[in-house]
Structure 1
Amino acid sequence: MSRVSRTSEHGATIACLWQEHLDAPFPARLRGAEPGGIDIVLLDATVAGCVSARQNKGGCLDAERNRILRDCVADLDQVLASTTEAEELRYFRRLRRLAALASDSGPRSTN
């Protein structure tokens, strides 16, 4: 598979996950929850902001947002370790995958 095909496929996967995330309601039971001291609503909003910026810049992610997303992946690993409800697991697994893919995507912007 060519690099262009992999890049296109990568971008399409992120776009699909992003739309799924936008369509999914935040797990109501977790509003205001802070497992392990992690503010879950803020974590969700941080990932969303970074991914939104990436999508609006044609798939480019600046170095700072890339670092932020990598930190979010680590926080999401902690959240997932303490999550047991199926819908919540699905929500945060998708968010983690989205953050991981977006932080490891194509060309980086320096802006």
Structure 2
Amino acid sequence: MSESSEQVQNAVRLWHEHRRAPFPASLRGAEFGGTDMVLLDADTAGCVLTWLNNGGTLDPKRTRILQSCIEDLDRVVPEITEPAGTRYYQRLRRLALLVSRTLPRPR
């Protein structure tokens, strides 16, 4: 199995796991450092779903959005104190990183 097909399979598995997980109620309406947690989830998930639906590719705009989401996730995940919220956003971050590794590097 090639590395990219393994990454796609891992991303699909994590995506299904993420879709089944309930959004942490304590994070509805929450912000960390000006980052709305619901929007961060929606933006990241939108990029991942687009990547999955487009056969492992993202347009430049969504690539930039995904990179911004990863930066936000890196910053806010350590601030989440509730275990379910931490698990939820750590999984979302792993998923975003998996997707980003398959994308061409910006020039």
Please indicate, yes or no, whether the TM-score normalized by the shorter chain is above 0.5.
yes
Which residue number corresponds to residue 10 of structure 1?
7
Distance in 1, matches of 2:15 and 2:85, equals 17
Q: CA deviation at 1:86?
A: 1.4
Which residue number corresponds to residue 105 of structure 1?
102
CA contact (8 A) 1:47 1:72 kept: yes
Q: CA deviation at 1:107?
A: 6.3
Distance in 1, matches of 2:12 and 2:95, equals 9
Q: Which runs of 4+ in 1 moved over 6 A?
A: none
1:7 partner letter: S
Structure 2 stretches lacking a partner, 5+ long: none
| Identical-pair percentage | 54
Which residue number corresponds to residue 26 of structure 1?
23
Distance in 1, matches of 2:62 and 2:53, equals 13
Structure 2 residue 41 is matched with structure 1 residue 58? no
- Number of residues paired by the alignment? 105
2:3 partner letter: R
TM-score (norm 1): 0.88
1:90-101 alignment to 2 at 5 Å? 90-101=87-98
TM-score (norm 2): 0.91
Structure 1 stretches lacking a partner, 5+ long: none
Q: CA deviation at 1:83?
A: 1.0
Q: Between 34-43 and 61-70, report the one with greater CA deviation.
A: 61-70
Quickly say closer, same or farther: Cα 1:75–1:107, change in 2 above 3 A: closer
